[in-house]
Structure 1
Amino acid sequence: MTTPAARILKKKHFRVKHQKVKLFRANEPLLSVFMWGVNHTINELSHVNIPGLLLPDHFRAHSKIKVDYHLFNKENMPSHFKFKEYCPLVFKYLRERFGIDDIEYRESLTRSQPTFTDDRGKSGAKFYLSYDKMFIIKSLTSEEVERMHSFLKHYHPYVVEKHGNTLLPQYLGMYRLTLDGVQYYFKVMRNVFSPHFRIHQKFDLKGSTVDREASDKELDKSLPTLKDNDFIKQGIRIKIGPEAKEKFNATLTADVEFLLKLHLMDYSLLIGIHDVRQAAEDAEARGDGNRSDPHHDSESENEYDSGERWENTPPDSPRQADAHVINPDIDVYAVASQEENQFIYFMAIIDPLTNYGLKKQAAKAAKTVKYGSNVDGISTCDPEQYAKRFLEFINDKVIE
């Protein structure tokens, strides 16, 4: 005879437990796979210690996974895909050097789907922002992946030597996704502009004056990217004071000399200006005092900027920042104006991976024919001339 206690035990024995599976919902399969892959690779690296010395093999290494008949979340995830992470230990080391925790990195890229921006740039690349606006995701070509590989073996030791103190882009990850036999490549970088400061003006400066003004189409945007001639015409000077200027110029000069050694050119100084007084007036007009308002920001227009603040950030979040107060852990490219509570400047070097090869040499020849050989303001020139002109322009016409 079976006792009631035995019947209870039998019921417990045959109870089915379903494994909890994290869902990655996005409005396109590519983003769902990206989120799944970042989550997977960060989890795989969570128990891996970074070696004291990275070897050449680490810069050629990769991890990859192939998923077939994926049963979970099928309405959002394809059933077959591949995900590959390039140089996982190198990028893990770089994230650590730049003060970015792997768990926070994973949450920023997977908690909610990244947002597509309309700015494709000259290369036609796609740009996405992480939901908290901390990171930029940029699509790459296979040739650009090779360029990144070549750059990494120089970039990593330079970042180590400078203890992460650089105006260069902070490269944090590089991935390949394969869906339906098509390969897609992406890299992840830190957003230059802060998520909690509205950017009121934005400039892309090369130190060149030929064809360096924003087009009418660009000027129609809510936050246009202005250029060298626009900057000069407005008579703007970035006033940060002698001590800050000396520190900034030292970092900028070291970065440019590093790029020069690699025979690179065509990079820019991206500047975003947050007008503290204008932001306070806007907040007052909205009746919210001095608080940041995530719903009154400019649209994202650039590979390295968002012009938006965080949305859905809880008040007790360690990332929540007071308006107009620079957080050194987040606002790594920020410099306050010399006059207190006037401006906050965000300044960084962008697009540093262009080599002065045959294509650029041909472009220089074409512009020389058009504008004459005595014109010094042509943007396309050899790396030595480019570096010299760039530094002189920033020092003489931009920073005070």
Structure 2
Amino acid sequence: MVLLTIISYAVLAPISFICQIVLVYGFLRVKKMKKHPEVMIFWQCISQIILDLHWITGIPYINNSLSIVCQFVGAFFAYFYILSWNYMLCLSLEILKKIRNPLNCKYKKRIIVYHILCHLSCFIMFCILILVKNNNGRSLIGTCFIQNASIYELIIFLPVVIHFPICWYICFYTAWASRTNVYAKHLKHHNYVVFTFSICWGINSVTHGLNYSGFNLGYIAILDDLSMIFGGASGFFMFLARISQKGILKKILRSFYKDANFFRNSNYRSLANSNLKSIMNPEQALFSQLNFSGDYSMLFDNMTCTAALDILVGFCKYFSYCIGSENDIKYIKNEKSYKLQFNLYPDTNKNIYIKHYLPEYFEIIMQQSGIGYRDFINSFNIKDNIKEIENRCKSVGGKSEAFFYFTKDNQFIIKSVNSEELDILKSMAKDYSIRISENNRSYLARVFGVFKISINSSHPIILIIMENLSRFFTSPLSFDLKGSSHERRSTYTSYINYMIMPRGKVYKDIDFENTFGKIDIENNEGPEILNSLELDTKLLEKYEIMDYSMLLLLEEANNCRNSLLHSKNCFRSGELIGNLGIIDFLQNYSARKRIETTLNTFKNDKKSNYSCIPPDMYRDRFLQLAKDIFVCDGLEIVKG
């Protein structure tokens, strides 16, 4: 026992401490290591460093000097002990979510929730441990932690009951899913970290839990010894699991003497520069090169880009089938959809299933827009889209967490939708296609197809192909306008005029009001615009749709493409060319929205300040917004 104590305190703990310091340093210096979900690993490393320091309190001289504050110090160490488990659990949940939906790229809001829950639960536990009177902080192994044999030992035992089973279930689920789920194998290095942590600190949790006097099990020497060995060396084992990912250690070591500029040449860029024409089977070769699992910080990005690439290949094959140039496809047809199955890449077992909803209605929209399946094939071709593919896989869908993919030629957008939005689109497809094909121009964004896609046994993804309203512009000012004021600004910076406003971000109502306010349209197009918007919003109100937006794009005329001038929806205002469209029109006034509206009525602000209001009120406010923007003072808004 004495020998193990010396080894743990004097050898294993310092090594573990140094290893975790190296990882934290790498996180701070190497830019790629700051990508999601690295922040959870970072907090785990910080917790591990604190726990490595906890072993020092087991040295008799230091322990005696801390006798008065041992309870507080022990509660502090217990805080980070539970915190490390919390972040491992969050990491495991992120793994599961990514496997189920590899196109989900919106992590920021979830990370905030993770941080709050992780630290709040630990803070509550910390307060309990420092306020109770029957906890002196002296642990089973003589360190300042949790009082030996007290009921508070069960707090340390909780992760065995809650965190440990969930983490291990997800590890085994990922291992099982990797047999059929082509994306799960990207996450094996995440599993190494979770697996190693669970073993090292799981033994410690079991030791403390069984040491509770209420169990009457007495002192279990073997568990105590294992707890000291694995606990003391846990940081070292975590370090080994971390650097098992190809290139991580090399990047960290380089960061000691060189800035991390060598990351500029990513695998995607080197892949894009390869001579694809000389490859007999470019799709298979591209897939094999994208399936690298070396860079831990790129694992989630790899999954997203690989999924996007597979979808592009699948769409190209499917649309080739639609025009009669692809034969190796099995299909089942029913009244509302086509379901097809085919091999995604030659000489592989990677199958894709595509279900095409109501093609007869969306083909009407395609014909009206002058779009054919060959246009999709040209826009989705792999050779062009593989270049910087990671920059076009985005999550800019606001609260919906929608995934967006912008084609290389900037013509189309592939967007993910949920099942509720799918139901809305299916229900209104006929009327929507009729409205688009009417003589009166429509500002509803064009949707050219709705699909449900599954690759092997992966979770099905619902996607729509829609027009890119910014395809005519080089670098426009973009405004997402709803007519409300609550949380409807993107910047608090005041700009003298629009020319100094940064491009590349989406501004909102208050930003527009502060910069433009109104737009004077040439050729008296205001009445025609308002009339078209009345017809569009009447259709949306019919299906109880609200929370849609007016996407307003403005750019100097000399920067716009000539084809914009032939677009029905463009207008001119002085030296600016503009284009507008109604987007995000798949949110109906559901029960959840009604509750949100009710809650807003209890606030002091006017109901009209909020985005969530009944469809009829939303339509009136939206049309009033259009009237105010396009200087249509002499016009009346037709209701109903």
Normalising by the residue count of structure 1, what TM-score does the alignment of the two structures yield? 0.70
Root-mean-square deviation (CA), in Å?
Answer: 3.0
Q: Distance in 2 between matches of 1:394 and 1:222?
A: 23
**CA offsets, 1:158-205, max 9 Å, x none?**
223x14831001001122221241212211100011244321x22111
TM alignment of 1:113-128, pairs within 5 A: 113=385, 115-128=392-405
**Contact 1:58 1:90 (C-alpha < 8 Å) held by counterparts:** no
Shift of 1:42: 1.9
Return the structure number with greater strand share. Answer: 1
Question: Match for 1:82 among 343, 353, 368?
Answer: 353
Q: Give the residue type in structure 2 aligned to 1:343.
A: L
**Contact 1:192 1:333 (C-alpha < 8 Å) held by counterparts:** no
Q: Distance in 1 between matches of 2:433 and 2:451?
A: 18
| Structure 1 alignment gaps of length 5 or more | 1-19, 49-56, 280-322
Shift of 1:131: 1.1
Q: Distance in 2 between matches of 1:44 and 1:143?
A: 29
Aligned to 2:572: 336
Aligned to 1:54: none
Shift of 1:213: 1.8
Shift of 1:22: 7.0
Q: Distance in 2 between matches of 1:58 and 1:168?
A: 28
Q: Distance in 2 between matches of 1:187 and 1:158?
A: 19
Aligned to 2:255: none
Aligned to 2:14: none
Q: Give the residue type in structure 2 aligned to 1:325.
A: N
**CA offsets, 1:345-366, max 9 Å, x none?**
1211111111112111111111
Aligned to 2:346: 71
Q: Distance in 1 between matches of 2:468 and 2:402?
A: 16
Q: Give the residue type in structure 1 aligned to 2:373.
A: D
Give the secondary structure class of the aligned counterpart of 1:354: coil
Q: Which structure has the greater CA radius of gyration?
A: 2
Is 1:325 aligned with 2:562? yes
**Contact 2:421 2:587 (C-alpha < 8 Å) held by counterparts:** no
Shift of 1:212: 1.9
Give the secondary structure class of the aligned counterpart of 2:466: strand
Q: Give the residue type in structure 2 aligned to 1:146.
A: D
Q: Distance in 1 between matches of 2:422 and 2:541?
A: 21
Give the secondary structure class of the aligned counterpart of 1:371: coil
Question: Match for 1:270 among 543, 551, 568?
Answer: 551
Aligned to 2:474: 197
Aligned to 1:293: none
**Contact 1:59 1:149 (C-alpha < 8 Å) held by counterparts:** no
Structure 1 stretches of 4+ with a deviation exceeding 6 A read none
Give the secondary structure class of the aligned counterpart of 1:103: helix
**Contact 2:483 2:622 (C-alpha < 8 Å) held by counterparts:** yes
Aligned to 2:599: 366
Aligned to 1:345: 578
Distance 1:206 1:347, change over 3 A: same
Aligned to 1:234: 515
Q: Give the residue type in structure 2 aligned to 1:360.
A: K
Q: Give the residue type in structure 1 aligned to 2:381.
A: T
**CA offsets, 1:98-128, max 9 Å, x none?**
1113212221022433631252422111110
Q: Distance in 2 between matches of 1:384 and 1:135?
A: 31
Shift of 1:243: 2.3
Shift of 1:265: 1.0
Give the secondary structure class of the aligned counterpart of 1:264: coil
**Contact 1:202 1:273 (C-alpha < 8 Å) held by counterparts:** yes
Q: Distance in 2 between matches of 1:125 and 1:90?
A: 24
Distance 1:353 1:399, change over 3 A: farther
Shift of 1:326: 4.3
Shift of 1:275: 2.4
Shift of 1:59: 6.8
Q: Give the residue type in structure 2 aligned to 1:107.
A: N
Shift of 1:215: 5.4
Structure number with the bigger relative contact order (C-alpha 8 A, sep ≥ 6) is: 1
Distance 1:395 1:164, change over 3 A: closer
Q: Distance in 2 between matches of 1:206 and 1:392?
A: 10
Is 1:395 aligned with 2:632? no
Distance 1:196 1:364, change over 3 A: closer
**Contact 2:308 2:393 (C-alpha < 8 Å) held by counterparts:** no
Q: Give the residue type in structure 1 aligned to 2:555.
A: H
Q: Give the residue type in structure 2 aligned to 1:380.
A: C
Number of aligned residue pairs: give it. 316
Is 1:23 aligned with 2:283? yes
Q: Distance in 1 between matches of 2:316 and 2:415?
A: 18
TM alignment of 1:240-255, pairs within 5 A: 240-241=521-522, 243-255=524-536
**Contact 2:424 2:586 (C-alpha < 8 Å) held by counterparts:** yes
Q: Give the residue type in structure 2 aligned to 1:81.
A: I
TM alignment of 1:1-400, pairs within 5 A: 23=283, 25=286, 27=290, 28-46=305-323, 60-67=336-343, 70-72=345-347, 79-111=350-382, 112-113=384-385, 115-160=392-437, 162-163=438-439, 165-182=441-458, 183-199=460-476, 201-214=477-490, 223-241=504-522, 243-276=524-557, 279=559, 323=560, 325-327=562-564, 331-337=567-573, 339=574, 342-372=575-605, 374-399=606-631
Q: Distance in 1 between matches of 2:440 and 2:309?
A: 31
Q: Distance in 2 between matches of 1:221 and 1:274?
A: 12
Q: Distance in 1 between matches of 2:510 and 2:468?
A: 25
Q: Distance in 1 between matches of 2:554 and 2:482?
A: 17
Q: Distance in 1 between matches of 2:440 and 2:465?
A: 17
Distance 1:58 1:233, change over 3 A: farther
Give the secondary structure class of the aligned counterpart of 2:399: coil
Shift of 1:130: 0.8
Give the secondary structure class of the aligned counterpart of 2:398: coil
Give the secondary structure class of the aligned counterpart of 1:198: coil
Q: Distance in 2 between matches of 1:146 and 1:101?
A: 25
Q: Distance in 1 between matches of 2:440 and 2:315?
A: 23
Q: Give the residue type in structure 2 aligned to 1:117.
A: K
Shift of 1:269: 0.7
**Contact 2:395 2:401 (C-alpha < 8 Å) held by counterparts:** no
Q: Give the residue type in structure 2 aligned to 1:23.
A: E
**Contact 1:263 1:356 (C-alpha < 8 Å) held by counterparts:** yes
Distance 1:58 1:152, change over 3 A: farther
Q: Give the residue type in structure 1 aligned to 2:372.
A: D
